Structure 1
Amino acid sequence: MIRATAIAATIGCLALAGCGNSEPAPAPSPTPTIAAPRTLVGADLDLGTLGAKIVGPQGPEVETVLSAGNRQIGTLVSYVACPAGTLVCEPGEMPAGTVYTYVHSITLVDAEDVAEGPVADAPDLRETPPTLFRTLRAATGFNQAVGYSTAEAEAALGDPDAISITNDNGSLIWRVVRGSGWQPGGTVTLWWQSTAAPQGPAEAYLFELDGQQVATTGPFPPEDKPVEGSAAR
């Protein structure tokens, strides 16, 4: 009888996850996950896949002067096109699921005052300032199709594979990683696609050259999820 009682007590302790420890183990704290930038495979620009351009408040193209300090370093010409075969690109008249191609052509000014990197006799171990073009916020409706003109990259940068593209938490970044440097007067055209039509020109892009950052304007789709209470009063 005593032995049966002892066995029952032992089983009771095991069921309670250990005698003498009435407090449950603390639940593990959730660890936030930060998405790392993802490298995208860029495709060559094929103008044959593009149809008519959207005509916005500034016409079919938006041209912006890229200025740093008191000097112009380049120009940006942007537009959005419907698929090939579209004669008139009016988003309100296009079928659901239409893919819009956002195109951005950057040209460095052909002038003597363009900043040149210092020439050193010994290797410089400091990080070289990046040359890049990026969206300042997540690209709404991005369908994973992105790229640039490889022919223009070879002519302006010295290498058709000079540009890498990444998706950083929804923002798209084209970065010059190879080549002999962007030659003044050279043009490089970048592109990406979205299932969302542009809301209008917005200061949604940034160009960086020789450590100088220039926020610039171009067509951009509306935010995917507007912040509640942000409507004009």
Structure 2
Amino acid sequence: MINRVGLFALASALALAACSDGASNNEVTDLNSADTDGEVAAMAAALDAGDFMDLQLGAKIVGPQGPEVTGAMSNAEGNFADIRSFVACPAGMDPCDPKSAPEGTLYTYVHVVYPGEDNKPGTGSGTGNTSSDIERATAFRMVMPAHGFTGAAGYSKAEAMSAIGAKADVVISCKDGALSWTVSAGDGGNQWGQAEPLTFYWQSTLPPAGPEKAYAIEANYAEAIGAGPYPAAKEGASNACG
């Protein structure tokens, strides 16, 4: 028994050493390593991130603005991003009408965020874009509670790879009942920046009540807020963010 334990300990030590050597040869993003107790706690509390490309969605809800809601995310200094959002029912549901959908239908809220602008004159910022060029966007988040949130959320990993490269890292976490997607690209090199779309999603058992200024982007070290589909609170509805 003593020999087996000794061999196991030696093998474990060699495996750890090999992992350390391998890690030193690869780029590591800010959020792939935890140097403080706070960072360790944040990583432990992070939600599993799904891939938008893996979703099987049905029809979109058609509201007063049509099947998609477009707008700008802004503050007193100007517009910092364009946002295009929609809400879809599960695969096979067409049309997607909350009035006739059964209780407990799963709604997927999708938000496509373009730092700076989407370069389309008829949507979002359009010709009214007044922000400077966005060199670095670091987060997309909700500023209001995620009513009915099921715990399922994610982003487009292909888009993150295209915008940032292999070092792209997006961590999803909760704060005060709201969701936050922290986008890390490490120091230097490619960042999530000007006109690079990144799609985020989250799922709720509640349909949208209408557009609300419930979403924000952190870009160029500033916060800008914009509107998107948002569910109203309902008694008895859960929120996986607490």
Tell me, in whole angstroms, the C-alpha distance in 2 between the residues paired with 1:174 and 1:68.
20
Q: Is the 8 A contact 2:145 2:177 kept in 1?
A: yes
Q: Which residue of 2 aligns with 1:153?
A: 160
* SS of alignment partner, residue 208 of structure 2: coil
Which residue among 100, 111, 114 is the counterpart of 2:133?
114
Once the two structures are superposed, residues 27-77 of structure 1 have per-residue CA deviations (whole angstroms, 9 ceiling, x without a partner) of xxxxxxxxx863101010036511110011211111012335555432100
The residue type paired with residue 173 of structure 1 is S
Q: Which residue of 2 aligns with 1:212?
A: 222
How far did 1:185 drift?
2.2
Cα distance change, pair 195–182 in 1 and its aligned pair in 2 (3 A)? same
Note if 1:138 corresponds to 2:138: no
Tell me, in whole angstroms, the C-alpha distance in 2 between the residues paired with 1:162 and 1:141.
26
Note if 1:86 corresponds to 2:96: no
Note if 1:172 corresponds to 2:182: no
Tell me, in whole angstroms, the C-alpha distance in 2 between the residues paired with 1:134 and 1:205.
6
Q: Which runs of 5+ in 2 are unaligned?
A: 1-40, 120-130, 236-242
Tell me, in whole angstroms, the C-alpha distance in 1 between the residues paired with 2:86 and 2:109.
6
Q: Which runs of 5+ in 1 are unaligned?
A: 1-35, 118-129, 226-233
* SS of alignment partner, residue 93 of structure 1: coil
Cα distance change, pair 132–146 in 1 and its aligned pair in 2 (3 A)? same
Q: How many residues align?
A: 179
Q: TM-score, normalised by structure 1?
A: 0.69
* SS of alignment partner, residue 154 of structure 1: helix
Give aligned-pair identity as a percent: 40
Q: Which residue of 2 aligns with 1:5?
A: none
Q: Which residue of 2 aligns with 1:58?
A: 65
The residue type paired with residue 147 of structure 2 is T
Tell me, in whole angstroms, the C-alpha distance in 1 between the residues paired with 2:176 and 2:202.
16
* SS of alignment partner, residue 63 of structure 2: coil
Cα distance change, pair 146–81 in 1 and its aligned pair in 2 (3 A)? same
How far did 1:159 drift?
3.5
Q: Which residue of 1 aligns with 2:193?
A: 183
Q: TM-score, normalised by structure 2?
A: 0.67
How far did 1:149 drift?
0.3
Cα distance change, pair 199–113 in 1 and its aligned pair in 2 (3 A)? closer
* SS of alignment partner, residue 153 of structure 1: helix
Tell me, in whole angstroms, the C-alpha distance in 1 between the residues paired with 2:172 and 2:231.
20
The residue type paired with residue 223 of structure 1 is A
